[in-house]
Amino acid sequence: MNKDIATPIRTKEILKKYGFSFKKSLGQNFLIDTNILHRIVDFAELTEESGAIEIGPGIGALTEQLAKRSKKVTAFEIDQRLLPILADTLSPYQNVKIIHQDILKADVQQVISEEFAGIRDLMVVANLPYYVTTPIILKLLADRLPIRGIVCMLQKEVADRIAAKPGTKEYGSLSIAIQYYTEAETVMIVPKTVFMPQPNVDSAVIRLTKREKPIVEVKDEEFLFQVTRASFAQRRKTILNNLSSQLPSGKEKKEQIIEALEETGIDPTRRGETLTIEEFGRLSDALLGTFK
């Protein structure tokens, strides 16, 4: 039996063997608790017929657990220094492929068609580097990949924002951008003590299940997100003030903005955080002709 990678002793042994030092700039925090890894993999609900895409495998702690529970794992690792370590730690597993590439620059569609031919069930499972969590998730969703969903570990504060409901202080344009494509739920809180080195913040595991189709149907997705970002630009301001100060030449078009708000039954004095995604959908469609 291979000893699990994700124990403090084994992790230290591996790092020492390769003289590996953590790079702050890459947000490297390795998990050293096998139970938590098992739970992350449980939340992904993989079968022997599933494929798993991982981002930032580190020394392979999560990769190993995914390899045991799925048909194939493909992991993207940006740090060249980790490639020989992964080749060593994951040598017992024939169903793992490491791609030395930045996920944000990668053509993930292409990788999926090459690496997961014939695999119908595909999940992204990752302990994401905190400094690029949001761009990575948004890219994976905007690229419309043929995945069932994403289970990832990220900063608790970001998880709270992603899963937030209207009317809460965490709810914002990020909640809307992600809930537009997925159902989002925080499934587990993870203390900082189970990482090496320890991060300064607590983490959470979030599960995003892709919707069959987006939660609202809009004429222009990009414009919907532009409207939501504008509506949250200054949280204390009303929706009318935010839209007229943030949308291009919004001040001159204030009358049209008021008309669109009235037409969609939205009180101009409300704040962005009180609007549901459906209301934002109706509003962006009503504003589209004025701004596009």
Instruction: State the binding site.
Output: 29, 31, 56, 77, 102, 127
Decide if 266 contacts 286 (C-beta within 8 A). Answer: no
Cβ-Cβ contacts under 8 Å for 213 (sequence gap 6 or more): none
| Nearest Cα residue to 276 out of 233, 234, 215 | 215
Beta strands in 12-64 (DSSP E): 30-31, 50-55
C-alpha distance from residue 213 to each of 176, 179, 182, 210, 282 (Å):
15, 11, 9, 8, 17
| Nearest Cα residue to 133 out of 203, 180, 75, 189 | 203
C-alpha distance from residue 252 to each of 86, 225, 245, 249, 258 (Å):
58, 21, 10, 6, 12
Q: Which residues are annotated as a binding site for S-adenosyl-L-methionine?
A: 29, 31, 56, 77, 102, 127
In sign, the C-alpha dihedral spanning 210, 211, 212, 213 is: negative
